[in-house]
Structure 1
Amino acid sequence: MKFRTLRARSAARLRPAAPRLALLALAAGSACSALSQTAPAGGELLAQNLRAPSLAETVVAATRSPQPLTDLVADISVVDRETIESSGATGLADLLARLPGVEFARNGGPGTTTSVYLRGAESRFTAVFIDGVRVDSQATGGAPWESIPLGLIDRIEVLRGPAGAVYGSDALGGVVQIFTKRGEKGTAPYVGAGVGSHGTAKVEAGISGASGTVDYALGLERENSTGFNARTVSTQNPDRDSYRSTAGHARVGVQLNAAHRLEGTLMVNDTNSGYDNGLGKDDRSLHQMHALGLNWSAQWSSAYKTRLSITDSRDEYETRPSPYLSDTRLRGYYFQNEWRQGPHLVTAALERREDRLENAPIDAKRSQDAVALGYGYNAAGHTVQLNVRHDSDSEFGGKTTGSVAYGYAITPQWRATASVGTGFRAPTLYHRFSEYGVATLRPESSRNAEVALRYAQGSSTFSATLFRNRLTNLISFAGPGTCVSDYGCYANTARAEYQGVTFAGSHRMGDVTLHGSVDLQRPRDLDTGKQLARRAKRHATLGADTRWAGWTLGAEVQASARRFDTVANTNVLGGYTLLNLYASTRIARDTTLLARIDNVADKDYQLARTYATAGRTVYVGIKWAPQ
């Protein structure tokens, strides 16, 4: 698997309620030992590359401008298409949880309410983009992780740490950039199918290519599952909670001339999943999502280029027969200017975001206008990145964020970095205009500082990142106040701190590649001192894979210490350890067979209290893709 790390909802969802092997082995072994002493350990899988990243490989998550990995100071991981396909992951969150610093929680099986935590930060504190289109819910806050189809994704970039000075609202914990496939010269069709445990069946097909000035990529995916009993408590139906998803994407580009390119992108998904709403009450969650973008990029000179984007996204969530409907729509306009001269990169951007929420009786909207400036320098072993941004919100006024980052190449293999930055999240429209909302809510704000040491030589990598992110003005549900409800109101009453250290590494030893990560963290409420819900203080991964007789064989161990299901730390979610096995081989020139067993020991564990997990699962798939 090729995870590359930069060098060395139920119906009630809206109700308030090293460098070498020795270092790698030492880090992973110590963590797993510590985990096993607290509970039946468990956690989130790996996040390091099986091969050194190409020096020419570029990422956009750090600055929204393409930059080589070696020019960045930010803490970034990259997941490519080969890794996605070989992972056998059932969803996007499952895959991301194999990266350093990432955990997730889900209320049942695929298609149900899912939260992703970057470095312990709340799910709503991660800004998520699909081909540059921001996706978010103005009801629950945060991206609809359960409705983003993993099978249509070509590449993922994960930035850990606040990025408000680049992205504006939402990016207090990090950024996830998701990209679909772009057509290349020739024609490349594919067809795939697979079956698995719990009556899972999946089919996919697509085609991509380029001819003359036009490139294109189209894909469709359909997945069904009879599911499993996600609520094993006496107050819920002892039945299977089924799931089905239909998704598609399209990406078409036209190279108008050597300097100008137009591109349109679209991803859609329609999911229908079951959940228990009491004895004799089986409801369906209907979730529709789309992300639509139109982009024009222009290279005006060897030094100066621009990019103009118009984007539109929608997140509609409905339950039946229990009546509930929430509809979030986001419209975005982004104009970025880049000037490169030698080791210098200067960026200036204008951005407008328009949000709307329909959630009866709510029908509300707001807008944010922003200006952002950035400066980057990379030469003689020194890297500097400076960013500042001002957002003006139609509801709460202005907010300025900034960041300063510095990196120094101690040797060709070792590099040290340090950064500080701020971020914010505007109150959701539900926070503001529901019966629990108040007009005086302020943005949730963060201040982050981190230092890192990274090593990379050949196939060996190691990194250690120490971070602390403090949040203020957190919105929580408080007692009665100035809102309409007598039950209680939202208020800026909470504070939190996410601090910890992440170790990650990989090393090739003969025909075997080892990789692993360890997270030691303290996600806590600063007012009560208690551990934040559904996040562990320790989680780790360790994996190995090799090639033998034409097969790629691999094993992964995921481990996590105990967590609490509530902010009061009253309900314990036990720690766990999972073993996953996978294998793939070419059975014909253009045909690949993939098999995977997750949770080999059939470990019984929970990611959310009273919600079961799938147990041992098996998946076998076949894919035809002419080379």
Structure 2
Amino acid sequence: MKTCVLHARSATLLLVVAAAWPAFSQPASSPQLRETVVTATRTAQPLSDLLADVTVVDRDTIERSGATGLADVLARLPGVEFQRNGGPGTTTGVFLRGSESRFTAVYIDGVRIDSQATGGAAWESIPVGQIDRIEVLRGPAAAVYGSDALGGVVQIFTKRGEGPFAPFVGIGFGSHGTRKADAGFSGSQGAFDYSLGLVDERSDGFNSRTAAGQNPDLDGYRSRSANVKLGFQLNRAHRLEASVLTNDANSQYDSASTRDDRNLRELNTLGLNWQARWTEAYSTRLSISDSRDRYQTTPSPYLTVTDLRSYLLHNELRLGTHLFTAALERKEDHLQNAPIDRGRSQDALALGYGWKSGPHAVQLNVRHDDDSEFGAKNTGSVGYGFAITPQWRVTASTATAFRAPTLYHRFSIYGVATLQPESSRNKEIGLRYEDGGSSFGIVAYQNKVSNLITFTTGSGPCTNGRAPVALANRACYSNTAQAEYSGVTLTGGYRFGNTRLSASLDLQNPRDLGTGRTLPRRARQHAVLAADTRVGPWSLGAEAQLSGRRNDSASNTVVLGGYGLINLSASTLVARDWTFLARVDNLADKSYELAQTYATGGRTLYVGLKWAPL
């Protein structure tokens, strides 16, 4: 264990050098097309102009990753960690800047997904094979998105059709009996565009719990998903769009010595959008969306269903260098988790102002939420950026955020109806450099959360969904804790010829302010080093993921060792329209745990073949 800690500390110095060096090494080059993102303010903006800390993942990167879970993709980004109870398909949590998994708001094609039972998105139910692009915003964004975005926002986009009809078919095979098949097509015809994707993925799995008394069977999974996106351009000013995604997953887990325990998870999303540009300066977007998260276990009888419906009217007015936004939003949550059958709603007004002139940039956002259970909650954010030179830019921001307790937190047998929303205040400062193929960034942040909801013994009366009952020997949810998520994130990149080097390093201290202890399953240091290059017809990649030790319990008495993983990838055209992909993860077959007593998959190999006419 000491060796793992020393490796993590040594990597710290190495990565600082690797991240910083490129910024001073690359000569100026000609301007490139600027990538546009929408997550920071719900308005399209060039990535280089943002005051927020955002990373974009494209489809090529996702495919090269060979990942079977979305969390595996995100864990290769700055500021992101995850924990999982076994293999893909089992319960997964994602920590953005060390914050709780429920503190990240997640959207698929603009459709909010959440669970009013566990709190937060069911990461294991989001099918990676349907994703075309991911935008990750690190830092609170409640002034834009309302409840839940204390740690950040993850926006997931499926493919939009464009150009001539383009079909594709792919197959893949990997370790642990993994099989994957996907097919679909996309394109556009006149004012109409379309995209369809189908994915079937399954694996025999591995024995995720090897301790005595656990079922020694293989814990496999199966996932079937479909996605459809349709668009119609009525005229130059008006566009209609609809998107549907569905995923049906079945995964095994161990909770008894002989029983075949299974998670049955269904995720369905539907989004309808009307975009209108009334003048060159003024535009609106009207969205209606619906999602359902259904989770069931067998043979143990447990069932929970969350339905979430949202209505959004977003307005933009551009006057020269000024951008004004105003949004009306309504969100309706409903939970069925016997004996709970309850709903609630939140109505909101959000206002935004952005200005960029010369070296200066300002972003202001305020939002008023009126919760049917808790009443009013106000949040706000202020950001400022100054371009020291065309390459160097400094940013600073502060923001407040909140998350309302789930209906399960309040009305289950462990619930307390008087729970209050969790609240946070964040401060951060950043320095960024960008010049052609060279980049460097450093962001320091401090996010303090009050009224943190924890599961504690002797916290008072619980409720059974109808009336409070005293349960002397049972723990309850309570607003008794405070936490601080603070740290520094360094990133760097350098391109020379056909080779791209990149690095990120996170030094963080997610802790309980009452006890001073580190929050469970989060490392104080984690880093990623990567290199991608082309050699003849081959695209080659190498990656090192490094993580320090973590505590598995809130008491900090159970320590999970640090680890280092080496991953390799290769792809090439083997014939016209045919692409071959191969990936090896955990090349050294490192044994490590993301949760105590739960094994990980060891060295894995994945190979795939895809047909997509050029």
Judge same fold: TM > 0.5, yes or no: yes
Q: Distance in 2 between matches of 1:195 and 1:535?
A: 32
**Do residues 187 (structure 1) and 165 (structure 2) align?**
yes
User: Does the CA contact (< 8 Å) of 2:459 and 2:478 recur in 1?
Assistant: no
1:271–1:52 Cα change, 3 Å: farther
Please state whether the residue corresponding to 1:330 is helix, strand or coil: strand
1:556–1:111 Cα change, 3 Å: same
Identify the range of structure 1 (94-103 vs 55-64) with the bigger mean alpha-carbon deviation. 55-64
Please state whether the residue corresponding to 2:176 is helix, strand or coil: coil
Partner of residue 443, structure 1 = 421
**Do residues 518 (structure 1) and 505 (structure 2) align?**
yes
Q: Distance in 2 between matches of 1:37 and 1:451?
A: 26
Partner of residue 11, structure 1 = none
Q: How many residues are aligned here?
A: 592
1:106-125 CA-to-partner distances (Å, cap 9, x unmatched) read 00001000000000000000
Aligned with 2:266 (options 288, 292, 298):
288
User: Does the CA contact (< 8 Å) of 2:32 and 2:436 recur in 1?
Assistant: no
In the alignment, structure 1 segments of 5+ residues that lack a partner are 1-30
Q: Distance in 2 between matches of 1:518 and 1:367?
A: 40
Partner of residue 242, structure 2 = 264
Report how far residue 57 of structure 1 moved.
2.0
In the alignment, structure 2 segments of 5+ residues that lack a partner are 463-468
1:567-586 equivalences under 5 Å are: 567-586=554-573
1:586–1:103 Cα change, 3 Å: same
TM-score (norm 1): 0.92
Determine which structure has greater relative contact order: mean sequence separation of CA pairs < 8 Å that are 6+ residues apart, divided by chain length.
1
Report how far residue 321 of structure 1 moved.
1.0
1:34–1:237 Cα change, 3 Å: closer
Aligned with 2:452 (options 474, 482, 489):
474
Q: Distance in 1 between matches of 2:7 and 2:402?
A: 34
Amino acid at match of 1:482: P
Report how far residue 588 of structure 1 moved.
1.3
Amino acid at match of 1:402: G
Aligned with 1:548 (options 519, 535, 547):
535
Q: Distance in 2 between matches of 1:570 and 1:187?
A: 58
Report how far residue 70 of structure 1 moved.
2.5
User: What is the root-mean-square deviation of aligned Cα atoms in Å?
Assistant: 2.0
Aligned with 2:104 (options 123, 126, 135):
126
**Do residues 537 (structure 1) and 527 (structure 2) align?**
no
Please state whether the residue corresponding to 1:198 is helix, strand or coil: helix
Partner of residue 602, structure 2 = 615
1:58-73 equivalences under 5 Å are: 58-73=36-51
Q: Distance in 2 between matches of 1:101 and 1:482?
A: 38
Partner of residue 453, structure 1 = 431
Report how far residue 489 of structure 1 moved.
2.3
Q: Distance in 1 between matches of 2:129 and 2:50?
A: 29
Q: Distance in 2 between matches of 1:145 and 1:418?
A: 31
**Do residues 592 (structure 1) and 570 (structure 2) align?**
no
Partner of residue 395, structure 1 = 373
What percentage of residue pairs aligned between the two structures are identical? 65
1:277–1:33 Cα change, 3 Å: closer
Aligned with 2:338 (options 350, 357, 360):
360
Please state whether the residue corresponding to 1:264 is helix, strand or coil: strand
Report how far residue 314 of structure 1 moved.
0.5
Partner of residue 466, structure 2 = none
Amino acid at match of 1:562: R
Aligned with 2:137 (options 144, 159, 180):
159
**Do residues 226 (structure 1) and 213 (structure 2) align?**
no
Partner of residue 67, structure 2 = 89
Q: Distance in 2 between matches of 1:56 and 1:107?
A: 40
Aligned with 2:328 (options 322, 346, 350):
350
Amino acid at match of 1:419: S
User: Does the CA contact (< 8 Å) of 1:55 and 1:69 recur in 2?
Assistant: no
User: Does the CA contact (< 8 Å) of 1:183 and 1:216 recur in 2?
Assistant: yes
1:511–1:258 Cα change, 3 Å: closer
Aligned with 1:299 (options 247, 266, 277):
277
Partner of residue 35, structure 1 = 8
Report how far residue 339 of structure 1 moved.
0.2
Report how far residue 480 of structure 1 moved.
4.5
Amino acid at match of 1:140: T
User: Does the CA contact (< 8 Å) of 1:106 and 1:608 recur in 2?
Assistant: yes
User: Does the CA contact (< 8 Å) of 1:435 and 1:485 recur in 2?
Assistant: no
Report how far residue 86 of structure 1 moved.
1.1
Aligned with 1:56 (options 26, 31, 34):
34
Q: Distance in 1 between matches of 2:311 and 2:508?
A: 37
Partner of residue 245, structure 1 = 223
1:156–1:237 Cα change, 3 Å: same
Q: Distance in 2 between matches of 1:525 and 1:55?
A: 44
User: Does the CA contact (< 8 Å) of 1:591 and 1:622 recur in 2?
Assistant: yes
**Do residues 332 (structure 1) and 310 (structure 2) align?**
yes
Report how far residue 373 of structure 1 moved.
0.2
Moved over 3 A (4+): 31-34, 36-39, 48-56
Q: Distance in 2 between matches of 1:470 and 1:108?
A: 31
1:144–1:53 Cα change, 3 Å: farther
User: Does the CA contact (< 8 Å) of 1:55 and 1:68 recur in 2?
Assistant: no
